[in-house]
Amino acid sequence: KQEVTQIPAALSVPEGENLVLNCSFTDSAIYNLQWFRQDPGKGLTSLLLIQSSQREQTSGRLNASLDKSSGRSTLYIAASQPGDSATYLCASTDAGNMLTFGGGTRLMVKP
Amino acid sequence: SQTIHQWPATLVQPVGSPLSLECTVEGTSNPNLYWYRQAAGRGLQLLFYSVGIGQISSEVPQNLSASRPQDRQFILSSKKLLLSDSGFYLCAWSVAGTGTISQPQHFGDGTRLSIL
């Protein structure tokens, strides 16, 4: 059974810092790895999706990488802003398009 | 463009009362549909998924059931709510994947359910 872990559980950084969020998974037979953002009391917003054949995806200040062999993905946020404060979730997708979520990293960017 | 709607946004129900949460998707046909629950202090857990009308698969045995009476409508129900049913319920949809290319899931805004 797939297990997804995110470290750290919470992170507080000053505005402008570059930061890395980590995601690890136990079963490397994934179809894709998806990163989401969740604001308090809200649903999930998809940020980036990396297919299993890809190594990374970029969108604006966000860059996500995937290393299937080591069971790891990272989300890199450049020049963080207070508006980036949210919980970030990673999820692996299996052959049946089922998502297994990590516990999330709660990010606080201080002005 | 595709949109997903969930309602209500919040709901407070007494223990033992029935439940019906609705989710609809617009702008796409024959989507895969999913119900998730996010309990306090816990991660997101898949409850049900559906690949077509009347086709429901359950991931976790529980007090809840799901139905898909129409192509783009997914309903989460319970006959008698328990305290442990409290949580944040999220509906999601995706296009069916082809081969090894899987499709992203897109989430609604969720329903916060409190059981008293």
Give the distance from residue B9's alpha carbon to the nearest chain A alpha carbon, in angstroms. 10
- B1-48 pLDDT per residue, tens: 889 999 999 999 999 999 999 999 999 989 999 999 998 777 888 899
> Given an 8 Å threshold on Cβ–Cβ distance, is A98 in contact with B110?
no
Residues of A with CB under 8 A from a CB of B: 31-32, 34, 36, 41-46, 49, 51-53, 89, 91, 93, 97-99, 101-104
> Given an 8 Å threshold on Cβ–Cβ distance, is B102 in contact with A93?
yes
Instruction: Decide if pLDDT at A39 tops 80.
Output: yes
- Mutation test of the interface with chain B: which of A92, A99, A101, A106, choosing the one with the most B Cβ atoms within 10 A? A99
Rounded CA-CA distance B65/B75 in Å is 8
- B83-103 pLDDT per residue, tens: 999 999 999 998 876 555 567
Judging contacts by C-beta atoms under 8 Å, the chain A residues touching residue B103 are: 97
Question: What is the mean pLDDT of the segment spanning A33-41?
Answer: 93
- Map A20-72 to HEC letters: EEEEEECCCCCCEEEEEEECCCCCEEEEEEEECCCCEEEECCEEEEEECCCCE
Instruction: Decide if pLDDT at B61 tops 70.
Output: no
B103 or A2: whose pLDDT is higher?
A: A2
Question: What is the mean pLDDT of the segment spanning B69-80?
Answer: 95
A88 or A99: whose pLDDT is higher?
A: A88
Judging contacts by C-beta atoms under 8 Å, the chain B residues touching residue A101 are: 43-44
Question: What is the mean pLDDT of the segment spanning A63-69?
Answer: 96
pLDDT of residue B59: 79
pLDDT of residue B99: 54
- Quick one: pLDDT band at residue A96, thresholds 50, 70, 90? confident
pLDDT of residue B101: 58
Positive or negative, the Cα torsion across A34, B93, B46, A84?
positive
Tell me the two tokens of residue B106.
């897109």
pLDDT of residue A99: 87
pLDDT of residue A41: 83
User: Considering only CA atoms, which of A6, A29, A100 is closest in space to residue B34?
Assistant: A100
